[in-house]
């Protein structure tokens, strides 16, 4: 009897329930994580916050969600994803509910730190899901799970409707109830396999030592764009549309979802493409598409007058709301593919340490999502130019393109200056 090929071999029992329940849980966690991107708009007006203070408000949950990724990845290796994932979600329910009672800026910052734990769920679900699938299907499986990033778009559909109908304080209450229900659903349908546990695990010191690996540093840089940039812009876009184009918050959130939604749900396709064509090829094209989109998005709304033989004439150069949204939509698709391709690099090159390396790379991406909104706010306060956020991202993408060209296209070891021969 012929042995089935890896591509046609049946999946382990429990693989699909684990994938579906984990993706659902991650979607809800991500919506919670992005909550301040919508309710932060009325809170900013209520408290009279500057752009920098608003950036810090939206970014605070991202900080803890990033810092806990490393230990969560280690605990997943040691104790299993089912226990860690369920415990993490349960721990977030009460802090989320308490946000509705916050009245001062520091209240939101402190509670935001606790709510941010939900963002660490990615470092639990990635190794948990990956170990249920064969290597040739891990890119697709991690891409499907990563499609839970669409929780950012879900937040933009749900939160504005609740906000307009009942006020912003109802949003965290609804999210807390939804997360509590998700804990029960996840525990009911997920599975555990003792064979997936890593004996001894990886110590925190050993995990940080991986930062000495130039490849890990490079993947951290890539992920700080495709994930960190995605998180930062998802948090920033609603207020950007409101202030730049004068839109109602519901319309602003709907248009902002044109970036967030494809940036989440199409991650599975990025995983499939990475399995088929390789992580390098997909990531290379992702960076170039990002470079072009950010170049166009960076140009500020400009009005200038020139003297002609017929007198002064005034010209306007800038993106209208529809062109702007189309560019954001294209970039959202590119970053969805990029998030999957970066983790395909990891599953290919670090099969025994997926949890550890994904924790480090996820930490870098999350920190990008924390730092960037604050920098967006600082640049806006300093320059008064809203498109300065895209100027910053344009520069970051340049760094990644140069690094990728030197280390992968030319196969040059930038650490030693020696050419690496295939």
Measured CA to CA, the distance from residue 59 to residue 109 in angstroms comes to 9
In the prediction, which pLDDT does 1 show? 43
pLDDT at 334: 93
What pairs with residue 306 in β-bridges?
313
Distance separating the N- and C-terminal Cα atoms of the chain = 38
pLDDT of residue 81: 86
Which pLDDT belongs to residue 300? Answer: 87
Q: Which domains does the chain have, with CATH numbers?
A: 15-192+204-409 (1.20.1250.20)
Residue pLDDT tens, the chain, 422 long: 444 444 556 777 778 888 999 999 999 998 998 899 899 999 999 999 999 999 999 989 988 888 887 788 778 878 888 999 999 999 999 999 999 999 999 999 999 999 999 988 888 888 888 888 887 777 778 778 878 888 888 888 899 989 888 999 999 999 999 999 999 999 999 888 777 676 665 566 666 667 677 888 888 889 999 989 988 998 899 989 999 999 998 899 899 988 988 877 787 788 788 888 888 889 999 999 999 999 999 988 888 888 888 888 888 888 899 999 999 999 999 998 998 888 888 878 877 666 677 778 878 888 888 899 999 999 999 999 999 999 999 999 998 888 888 887 776 444 444 444 43
Residue pair 253/159 in contact by the 8 Å Cβ criterion: yes
Whole-number Å distance between alpha carbons of 69 and 76 = 10
Over residues 352-365, the pLDDT tens digits come to 666 677 778 878 88
Using left for φ > 0, alpha for ψ between -120 and 50, and beta otherwise, residue 98 falls in alpha
pLDDT for the residue numbered 375 = 93
Question: Looking at residue 414, what is its pLDDT?
Answer: 42
């Amino acid at each position: 009897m012929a042995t089935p090929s890896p591509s046609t071999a049946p999946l382990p029992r429990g693989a699909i329930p684990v994938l579906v329940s984990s993706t659902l849980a991650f979607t809800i966690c991500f919506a919670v994580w992005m909550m301040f991107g919508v309710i932060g708009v009325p809170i900013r007006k209520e408290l009279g916050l500057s752009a920098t203070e608003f950036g810090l408000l939206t970014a605070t949950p991202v900080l803890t969600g990033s810092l806990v990724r490393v230990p969560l990845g280690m605990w997943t290796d040691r104790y299993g994803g089912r226990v860690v994932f369920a415990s993490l979600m349960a721990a977030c329910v009460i802090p989320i509910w308490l946000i509705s009672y916050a009245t001062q800026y520091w209240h939101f910052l402190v509670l935001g730190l606790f709510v941010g734990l939900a963002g660490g769920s990615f470092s639990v679900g990635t190794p948990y899901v990956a170990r249920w699938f064969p290597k040739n299907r891990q890119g697709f499986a991690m891409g499907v799970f990563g499609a839970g990033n669409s929780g950012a778009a879900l937040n933009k559909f749900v939160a504005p409707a609740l906000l307009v109908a009942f006020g912003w304080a109802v949003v965290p209450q609804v999210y807390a109830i939804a997360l509590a229900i998700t804990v029960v659903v996840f525990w009911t349908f997920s599975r555990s396999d003792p064979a997936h546990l890593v004996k001894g695990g990886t110590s925190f010191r050993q995990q940080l030592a991986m930062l000495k690996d130039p490849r890990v540093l490079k993947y951290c840089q890539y992920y700080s764009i495709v994930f960190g940039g995605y998180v930062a812009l998802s948090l920033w876009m609603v207020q950007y549309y409101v202030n730049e184009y004068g839109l109602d918050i519901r319309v602003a959130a709907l248009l902002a979802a044109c970036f967030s939604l494809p940036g989440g749900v199409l991650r599975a396709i990025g995983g499939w493409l990475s399995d088929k064509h390789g992580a390098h090829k997909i990531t290379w094209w992702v960076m170039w598409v990002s470079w072009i989109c950010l170049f166009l998005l960076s140009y500020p709304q400009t009005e200038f007058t020139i003297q002609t033989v017929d007198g002064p004439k005034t010209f306007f150069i800038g993106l209208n709301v529809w062109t702007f949204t189309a560019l954001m939509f294209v970039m959202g698709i590119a970053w969805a593919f990029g998030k999957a391709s970066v983790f395909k690099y990891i599953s290919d090159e670090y099969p025994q340490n997926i949890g550890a390396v994904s924790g480090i790379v996820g930490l870098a991406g999350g920190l990008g999502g924390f730092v960037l909104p604050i920098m967006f706010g600082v640049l806006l306060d300093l320059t008064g130019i809203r498109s300065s956020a895209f100027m910053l991202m344009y520069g970051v993408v340049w760094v990644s393109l140069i690094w990728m060209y030197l280390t992968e296209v030319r196969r040059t070891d930038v650490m030693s200056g020696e050419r690496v021969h295939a």
